[in-house]
């Protein structure tokens, strides 16, 4: 599309060309006329007077005109044709041609109009005169006509000459006006055609009357101008009131059209309508609110941008403030721009004020409406998004997920990854909520960055995030995607110069065949929890491991009753000397004896307990039962310490040590009969509060064990901070030690570490004799697992110990070696007897 400036240039070129052609043609005509006139110059006084009168008549006719402004060009309706036709009727055509040229020039000089307009007007009128003259000459016209009575002889030739003049005038003028005003030629022919027609008829009548008069006496030529003048006044008043009426109607229509709520529509309407209403070359609207400026013309908006951008239309600027009738509100300013010099008529000024005031109201309405719509949008956004991170919220996830699952022909596989930050609460508790929020925002950013655009990343609340995977090529891809998501969180987060590592666990589930989004979410949740408890980063939902249909989340509601009604019971799993099979201690493992669902294991309710705020009550109940059991074994002659698992969250509770020690005193049990098992995945273990809690317990003699050792990232660094007595090798290493060199290496170095730091090491999950033997040969003294016993009630364990293995009370397995082959080392650190392997295996230096 050509730009405005380009098309303006093009118009200008065409205008100059047309005017040039007219001027050249007129010059030729004038030259020929001059030659003819020189051949037969005016001889008599009457003839000279006629020439002077002709020049005067044409000058007057040119000056008296009705003005109509189109854009910055004012168009005039003149009496020229009348004067010219009268002229050619009474005088030789060449004279009239020259008189026309001179008369028009005089008129333009008097009016001080620009030279280009003068050139055009002289050219046009000369040609009109030549045309009219030639018409009469070709009709053998003679003045004065022979017979005064034959009216038709007068009318017909004059009518034809008049027609020729009018047509020539229109044909020459209209293309020029059309180009100058930017409208089409057809449009120009049509505008006011009725009025123009009446005008032509009227002027023809005047011409005839004038000629009738002149036929009587040529001297009456002097009376023609006043007559023309009075007729002109009547006519121009009529045309003006007509224009005015149209303008008012247009204003009414325009203010009506402004009555819309959309601001952009208001602006477009305002700009195009104002351009038309005031025939402006450009209309500009500057809005105070938002510093926005729009510009345009009758064709529409050409600019919409910040206020202050320069425009390429210069000339006259007519501003109108956009203010209410009472002038109190001010929304901006409307500017009309014209390329040329323009002054608005009084009527136009009034129209402009009315228009500006209507526009002000329309803009305010639209702005208010936009504000309303924005607030509504914001509400809708807030309802579906998380305010902190800007991610979708749970509701949005459920909505989009439900839609995705219900789309029958959805492309690919749908899956959900649930991501939960481990120990996030500690960040909040120690560094403050602002820091916690920052971490969450950064986590959100990383997840967003790691997920393709087709996935929906949501924050479900707290430190729980979810990513809805859509359009996967195969279900297996979900695990890969989940890896990518979690890997994005691996790098430590920068928090005001601190670097904080946040571990996360992920649970994956593919879309279930039924149950919809709620079931998908539950399954991912189950998987995530499995990952957490198994110390893995990611787990995929497996129906076989989903022990019940009821989600553990639904159990949350039962918790207060469970604590109050002592529904939590404790089973005990013995820890035995791998060499002798003797029970050296027992681990307390919680169970929920649910009145409806039966025995529920800890994986399914622990997290709910940790989150519920009932953790202290729960922990106390478990500890109580564990201590009662230890006392009962002691009383039966088995001095077996009890190991109790401690939630990381308890370690953040400064009252925790006090309550533990109080329970010990209440049961009258020495503190060293209690082992507290801590999971090593404690992030921020450097926290002061954890340090204080643990040193207090340790100082009082309570023994500490690091559970699931080897699974976390920071095992070693953690060990240097937390002085524990015991390490528990995670079950996953024991299970795979025979097949995986890596697992074997972890076990070996853990044992090595235990030896150098003088710590006891217990292997978890010993399920077979070969495992037991291999561990023992590596130098591991203690083990726990199904090989020896499953978790059981304390009474059952007591009975088993009393029964003993092979008639040896206190043992649960046959010794590894013949009694003679085992060299029993006296235990200097423990009261309970423990054997040591007779020879130490080779360990890497």
Cβ 541 to Ca ion shortest distance, Å: 23
Question: Applying CB under 6 A, which part among 63-71, 390-398, 513-521, 639-647 lies near ligand C2E?
Answer: 639-647
Question: Applying CB under 5 A, which part among 253-261, 325-333, 663-671, 762-770 lies near Ca ion?
Answer: 762-770
Question: Applying CB under 6 A, which part among 61-69, 281-289, 498-506, 759-767 lies near ligand C2E?
Answer: 759-767
Q: Residues 265, 276, 601, 691: which binds ligand C2E (CB under 6 A)?
A: 601
Could you say which of ligand C2E, Ca ion, none residue 590 binds, taking C-beta under 5 to 8 angstroms by partner kind? ligand C2E
179-to-125, 217, 385, 746 alpha-carbon distances in Å: 19, 44, 57, 92
Q: Residues 577, 582, 677, 760: which binds Ca ion (CB under 5 A)?
A: 677
Which one, 339 or 597, has the nearer CB to ligand C2E?
Answer: 597
Cβ 651 to ligand C2E shortest distance, Å: 11
259-to-253, 267, 329 alpha-carbon distances in Å: 10, 11, 18
SS3 544: helix
Q: Residues 244, 400, 483, 767: which binds ligand C2E (CB under 6 A)?
A: 767
Which one, 478 or 576, has the nearer CB to Ca ion?
Answer: 576
Question: Which ranges in 258-333 belong to alpha helices (H)?
Answer: 263-277
Cβ 618 to ligand C2E shortest distance, Å: 8
Could you say which of Ca ion, ligand C2E, none residue 601 binds, taking C-beta under 5 to 8 angstroms by partner kind? ligand C2E
Closest residue to ligand C2E: CB criterion: 785
Per-residue interface string for the shown chain with Ca ion, residues 546-585, x marking contact by CB under 5 A: ----------------------------------------
Beta carbons of 462 and 440 less than 8 angstroms apart = no
Which one, 67 or 786, has the nearer CB to ligand C2E?
Answer: 786
Distance, in Å, from the CA atom of 418 to the CA atom of 541, rounded to the nearest integer, reads 11
Does 707 bind Ca ion (CB under 5 A)? Our answer is yes
Enumerate the β-bridge partners of residue 219.
none
Distance, in Å, from the CA atom of 752 to the CA atom of 296, rounded to the nearest integer, reads 84
Distance, in Å, from the CA atom of 284 to the CA atom of 310, rounded to the nearest integer, reads 11
Beta carbons of 588 and 642 less than 8 angstroms apart = yes
Q: Residues 59, 606, 761, 762: which binds ligand C2E (CB under 6 A)?
A: 606
SS3 472: strand
Cβ 501 to ligand C2E shortest distance, Å: 21
Question: Binding to Ca ion (CB under 5 A): which residues in 65-104?
Answer: none
Could you say which of ligand C2E, Ca ion, none residue 419 binds, taking C-beta under 5 to 8 angstroms by partner kind? none
User: What angle separates helix 263-277 from helix 346-384, to the nearest 10 degrees?
Assistant: 170
Which one, 294 or 734, has the nearer CB to ligand C2E?
Answer: 734
SS3 373: helix
Could you say which of Ca ion, ligand C2E, none residue 767 binds, taking C-beta under 5 to 8 angstroms by partner kind? ligand C2E
Q: Residues 188, 207, 438, 573: which binds ligand C2E (CB under 6 A)?
A: 573
Element (H, E) at 381: helix 346-384
Question: Applying CB under 5 A, which part among 52-60, 605-613, 647-655, 760-768 lies near Ca ion?
Answer: 760-768
Beta carbons of 447 and 463 less than 8 angstroms apart = no
Beta carbons of 540 and 478 less than 8 angstroms apart = yes
Backbone φ and ψ for 308, nearest 5 degrees, come out as 105, -10
Per-residue interface string for the shown chain with ligand C2E, residues 679-708, x marking contact by CB under 6 A: ----------------------------xx
Does 726 bind ligand C2E (CB under 6 A)? Our answer is no
Beta carbons of 688 and 655 less than 8 angstroms apart = no
Beta strand pairing call for 413-421 and 456-461 = unpaired
SS3 459: strand
Does 602 bind ligand C2E (CB under 6 A)? Our answer is yes
Q: In what order do the strands lie in the sheet with 413-421?
A: 456-461, 464-472, 413-421, 504-510, 538-540
Residue 844: both structure tokens together: 């890497």
Question: Applying CB under 6 A, which part among 103-111, 127-135, 316-324, 641-649 lies near ligand C2E?
Answer: 641-649
Which one, 286 or 730, has the nearer CB to ligand C2E?
Answer: 730
- Look at residues 347, 350, 342 and name the one whose alpha carbon lies nearest to residue 241: 347
Residue whose pair of structure tokens reads 């709910």 in the numeric block: 608
Distance, in Å, from the CA atom of 396 to the CA atom of 387, rounded to the nearest integer, reads 13
Determine whether 307 is exposed, middle or buried from the number of CB atoms within 10 Å of its CB (0-12, 13-18, 19+).
middle
Cβ 709 to ligand C2E shortest distance, Å: 10
Which one, 287 or 697, has the nearer CB to ligand C2E?
Answer: 697
Distance, in Å, from the CA atom of 235 to the CA atom of 737, rounded to the nearest integer, reads 114
Backbone φ and ψ for 437, nearest 5 degrees, come out as -60, -40
How many CB atoms are closer than 10 A to CB 582? 25
How many CB atoms are closer than 10 A to CB 201? 10
Does 771 bind ligand C2E (CB under 6 A)? Our answer is no
Cβ 827 to ligand C2E shortest distance, Å: 24
Q: Residues 200, 358, 486, 590: which binds ligand C2E (CB under 6 A)?
A: 590
Distance, in Å, from the CA atom of 680 to the CA atom of 716, rounded to the nearest integer, reads 10
Cβ 587 to Ca ion shortest distance, Å: 6
User: What angle separates helix 794-803 from helix 615-635, to the nearest 10 degrees?
Assistant: 30
Rounded to a whole number, what is the largest CA-CA distance in the chain?
168
Closest residue to Ca ion: CB criterion: 677
Cβ 830 to Ca ion shortest distance, Å: 19
Q: Residues 325, 347, 786, 824: which binds ligand C2E (CB under 6 A)?
A: 786
Does 647 bind ligand C2E (CB under 6 A)? Our answer is yes
Which one, 397 or 643, has the nearer CB to ligand C2E?
Answer: 643
Count of chain residues binding Ca ion (CB under 5 A): 5
Question: Binding to ligand C2E (CB under 6 A): which residues in 500-539?
Answer: 533
Per-residue interface string for the shown chain with Ca ion, residues 774-793, x marking contact by CB under 5 A: --------------------
Could you say which of ligand C2E, Ca ion, none residue 622 binds, taking C-beta under 5 to 8 angstroms by partner kind? ligand C2E
Q: Residues 785, 810, 815, 837: which binds ligand C2E (CB under 6 A)?
A: 785
Distance, in Å, from the CA atom of 56 to the CA atom of 184, rounded to the nearest integer, reads 35
Does 708 bind Ca ion (CB under 5 A)? Our answer is yes
Could you say which of Ca ion, ligand C2E, none residue 463 binds, taking C-beta under 5 to 8 angstroms by partner kind? none
Which one, 202 or 753, has the nearer CB to Ca ion?
Answer: 753
Question: Applying CB under 6 A, which part among 1-9, 46-54, 248-256, 599-607 lies near ligand C2E?
Answer: 599-607
Distance, in Å, from the CA atom of 656 to the CA atom of 663, rounded to the nearest integer, reads 11
Does 420 bind Ca ion (CB under 5 A)? Our answer is no
Give CB contacts under 8 A, 24+ apart, made by 546-553.
547/600, 547/601, 547/604, 548/597, 548/600, 548/604, 550/597, 551/522, 551/525, 551/526, 552/525, 552/526, 552/604, 552/605, 552/607, 552/608, 553/522, 553/525, 553/608
Question: Binding to Ca ion (CB under 5 A): which residues in 633-652?
Answer: 645
562-to-538, 557, 590 alpha-carbon distances in Å: 30, 10, 13
Question: Applying CB under 6 A, which part among 91-99, 236-244, 558-566, 600-608 lies near ligand C2E?
Answer: 600-608
Could you say which of Ca ion, ligand C2E, none residue 589 binds, taking C-beta under 5 to 8 angstroms by partner kind? ligand C2E
Which one, 401 or 765, has the nearer CB to ligand C2E?
Answer: 765
- Look at residues 372, 681, 353, 388 and name the one whose alpha carbon lies nearest to residue 531: 681
Question: Applying CB under 5 A, which part among 504-512, 629-637, 705-713, 808-816 lies near Ca ion?
Answer: 705-713
Beta strand pairing call for 504-510 and 330-338 = unpaired
Residues that bind ligand C2E (CB under 6 A): 533, 573, 589-590, 601-603, 606, 622, 645-647, 677, 707-708, 731, 764-767, 784-786, 791
Residues that bind Ca ion (CB under 5 A): 645, 677, 707-708, 764
């Amino acid at each position: 599309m050509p730009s405005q400036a380009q098309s303006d240039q093009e118009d200008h070129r065409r205008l100059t060309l047309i005017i040039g052609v007219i001027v050249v043609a007129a010059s030729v005509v004038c030259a020929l006329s001059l030659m003819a006139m020189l051949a037969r110059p005016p001889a008599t006084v009457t003839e000279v007077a006629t020439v002077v009168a002709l020049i005067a008549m044409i000058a007057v006719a040119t000056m008296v005109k009705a003005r109509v402004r189109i854009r910055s060009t004012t168009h005039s309706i003149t009496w020229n044709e009348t004067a010219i036709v009268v002229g050619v009727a009474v005088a030789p055509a060449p004279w009239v041609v020259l008189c026309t040229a001179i008369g028009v020039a005089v008129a333009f000089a008097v009016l001080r109009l620009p030279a280009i307009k003068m050139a055009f007007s002289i050219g046009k009128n000369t040609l009109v005169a030549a045309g009219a003259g030639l018409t009469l000459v070709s009709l053998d016209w003679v003045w004065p006509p022979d017979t005064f009575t034959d009216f038709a002889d007068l009318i017909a030739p004059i009518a034809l000459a008049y027609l020729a003049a009018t047509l020539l005038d229109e044909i020459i003028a209209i293309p020029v006006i059309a180009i100058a005003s930017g409208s089409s030629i057809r449009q120009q022919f049509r505008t006011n055609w009725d009025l123009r027609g009446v005008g032509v008829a009227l002027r023809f009548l005047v011409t005839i009357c004038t000629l009738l008069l002149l036929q009587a006496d040529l001297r009456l030529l002097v009376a023609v101008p006043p007559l023309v003048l009075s007729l002109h006044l009547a006519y121009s008043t009529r045309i003006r009131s007509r224009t005015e009426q149209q303008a008012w109607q247009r204003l009414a229509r325009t203010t009506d059209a402004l009555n819309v709520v959309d601001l952009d529509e208001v602006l477009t309407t305002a700009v195009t309508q104002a351009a038309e209403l005031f025939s402006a070359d450009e209309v500009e609207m500057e809005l105070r609110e938002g510093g926005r400026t729009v510009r345009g013309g009758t064709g529409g908006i050409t600019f919409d941008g910040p206020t202050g951008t320069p425009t390429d239309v210069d000339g006259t600027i007519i501003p109108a403030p956009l203010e209410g009738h009472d002038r109190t509100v001010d929304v901006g300013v409307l500017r009309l721009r014209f390329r040329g010099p323009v002054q608005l008529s009084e009527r136009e000024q009034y129209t402009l004020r009315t228009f500006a005031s209507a526009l002000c109201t329309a803009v305010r309405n639209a702005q208010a409406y936009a504000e309303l719509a924005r607030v509504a949008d914001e509400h809708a956004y807030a309802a579906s998004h998380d305010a902190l991170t800007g991610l979708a919220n749970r509701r949005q996830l459920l909505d989009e997920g439900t839609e995705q699952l219900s789309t029958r022909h959805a492309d690919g596989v749908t899956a959900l990854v649930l991501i939960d930050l481990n120990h996030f609460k500690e960040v909040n508790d120690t560094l403050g909520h602002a820091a916690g929020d920052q971490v969450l925002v950064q986590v959100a950013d990383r997840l967003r960055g790691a997920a393709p655009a087709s996935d929906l990343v949501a924050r479900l609340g707290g430190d729980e995030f979810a990513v809805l995977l859509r359009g996967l090529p195969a279900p297996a891809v979900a695990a890969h995607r989940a890896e990518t998501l979690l890997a994005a969180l691996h790098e430590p987060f920068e928090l005001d110069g601190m670097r904080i590592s946040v571990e996360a666990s992920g649970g994956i589930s593919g879309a279930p065949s039924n149950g919809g989004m709620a079931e998908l979410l539950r399954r991912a949740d189950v998987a995530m929890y499995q990952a957490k408890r198994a110390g893995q980063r990611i787990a995929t939902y497996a129906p076989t491991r989903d022990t019940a249909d009821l989600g553990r989340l639904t159990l949350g509601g039962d918790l207060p009753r469970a604590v109050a009604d002592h529904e939590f019971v404790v089973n005990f799993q013995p820890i035995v000397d791998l060499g002798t099979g003797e029970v050296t201690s027992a681990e307390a493992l919680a169970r929920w004896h649910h009145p409806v669902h039966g025995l529920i294991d800890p994986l399914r309710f622990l997290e709910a307990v940790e989150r519920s705020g009932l953790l202290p009550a729960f922990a106390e109940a478990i500890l109580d039962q564990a201590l009662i059991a230890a006392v009962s074994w002691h009383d039966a002659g088995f001095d077996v310490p009890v190991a109790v698992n401690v939630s990381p969250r308890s370690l953040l509770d400064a009252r925790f040590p006090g309550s533990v020690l109080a329970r010990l005193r209440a049961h009258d049990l020495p503190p060293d009969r209690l082992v507290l098992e801590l999971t090593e995945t404690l992030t921020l273990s450097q926290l002061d509060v954890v340090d204080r809690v643990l040193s207090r317990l340790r100082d009082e003699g309570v023994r500490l064990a690091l559970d699931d050792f080897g699974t976390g990232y920071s095992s070693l660094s953690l060990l240097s901070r937390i002085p524990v007595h015991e390490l528990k090798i995670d079950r996953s290493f024991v299970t795979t030690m025979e097949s995986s060199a890596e697992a074997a290496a972890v076990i070996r170095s853990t044992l090595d570490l235990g030896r150098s730091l003088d710590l006891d090491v217990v292997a978890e999950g010993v399920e077979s004799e070969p495992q037991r033997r291999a561990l023992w040969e590596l130098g591991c003294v203690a083990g726990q697992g199904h090989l020896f016993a499953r978790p059981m009630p304390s009474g059952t364990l007591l009975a088993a110990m009393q029964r003993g293995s092979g008639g040896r009370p206190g043992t649960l397995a046959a010794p590894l070696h013949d009694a003679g082959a085992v060299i029993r080392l006296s235990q200097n650190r423990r009261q309970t007897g423990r054997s040591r392997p007779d020879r130490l295996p080779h360990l890497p230096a």
